[in-house]
Amino acid sequence: MLNKLTRINIYGLGGRAALVIGFVLFIAIVATDYLTPYELNLTPFYLFVVLLVTWNSGWQWGLGFSVLCIVAEGSTDLLTGHPYPEQIYFYIDNANRLVIYLVAWGLISQLKIQHEREKDSARRDYLTGLLNQKGFYEAFSVEIARHRRENSPMSVAFLDCDNFKEVNDGRGHNEGDRLLTNLAQTMRANLRKTDVIGRLGGDEVAIVLSKTDKDHAAHVIDKLRRELNAAMAEHGWPVTFSIGVGIFASVPQSEDEIISFTDKLMYRVKSSGKNNVLTEEFTAFGAGR
């Protein structure tokens, strides 16, 4: 049953759709429960609805459906005439059902939390906590689609650490890891939560600045570079930064155009002496350079 729920979720059943389907199933099960003999136990079907809603729509909705299901089963028993010799057995039976629903609801809620954590960790760089290449490109695709829909500007920056190899090889990999961790912390502290930051390689980082034009991007990257230089100086790391910033007034049709354009800007900085920022607006002519 859990595998079935997981497949449903993966193939695009959102929270709202799950609520609609869950409610339709719930009504159908209640009607069936009312029309069939008491000996036909439909608790597993009610339980399926609870699991479906909890997994796809969240623990709050799952709890609500748990209560709905126990109320529906108890009410159906009363309306159809339960066969219990004593009234107390009716309450005990329904209490047992409630325990089943709540245990299943609690377990599936915790499992969904762990599932989401695993999904997130698979898209995070283990060292810096930034998005890894897979996570970055997934988030990048979402940003591109959103900016195309809203027809808003977007800026993309590629940052490379100059002389990182000198630190990593000369002072040891642990020191190199400390540098990258500090780099990530400084970037998160100086960029918005809506901006997308990904570690694409050993010392190369990509940044998507949402709804950011040329002037705003220049201000953000200039401030970020100052903070990064200060962090490097504080720890005595001889590292500077080569940064290419592509400005996209409208998003190109091809994601590769964005990556290629910005990557070339960064390498132009590297080849002309490093430790600088090159910002250019994307044009059809500029894309081919």
Report, as residue numbers or ranges, the catalytic residues: 203
At 156 the three-state DSSP class reads strand
> How far is residue 154's CA from residue 209's CA, in Å, rounded to a whole number?
6
Average pLDDT over residues 104-123: 79
Domain boundaries, the chain: 2-121, 133-287
Rg of the chain over Cα atoms, rounded to whole angstroms, equals 28
> Side by side, which strands form the sheet with 204-210?
196-199, 204-210, 154-162, 240-248, 276-281
The answer to whether residues 191 and 157 touch, using CB atoms and an 8 Å cutoff, is no
The answer to whether residues 131 and 199 touch, using CB atoms and an 8 Å cutoff, is yes
What percentage of residues in the chain have a pLDDT greater than 90? 47
Per-chain mean pLDDT for the chain: 86
Average pLDDT over residues 9-26: 76
The answer to whether residues 199 and 128 touch, using CB atoms and an 8 Å cutoff, is yes
The answer to whether residues 211 and 251 touch, using CB atoms and an 8 Å cutoff, is no
Average pLDDT over residues 92-105: 87
Tell me what percent of the chain is helix, strand and coil, each rounded to the nearest 5: 65, 15, 20
- How confident is the model at residue 74, as a pLDDT? 85
Q: Quick one: tokens of 180?
A: 């990258």
At 124 the three-state DSSP class reads strand
26: nearest Cα among 56, 5, 8, 47: 47
The answer to whether residues 4 and 50 touch, using CB atoms and an 8 Å cutoff, is no
Q: Residue 126's beta-bridge partner residues?
A: none
Average pLDDT over residues 8-32: 79
pLDDT tens, residue by residue, 44-93: 999 999 999 988 888 899 999 999 998 998 888 778 776 777 778 778 88
pLDDT higher than threshold 70 for residue 160? yes
What percentage of residues in the chain have a pLDDT greater than 70? 91
Whole-structure pTM over 0.85, yes or no?
Answer: no
Q: Does 133-287 carry CATH code 1.10.1060.10?
A: no
228: nearest Cα among 216, 215, 237: 237
> How far is residue 234's CA from residue 102's CA, in Å, rounded to a whole number?
54
Q: Select the highest-mean-pLDDT range: 123-127, 141-145, 159-163, 166-170.
A: 159-163
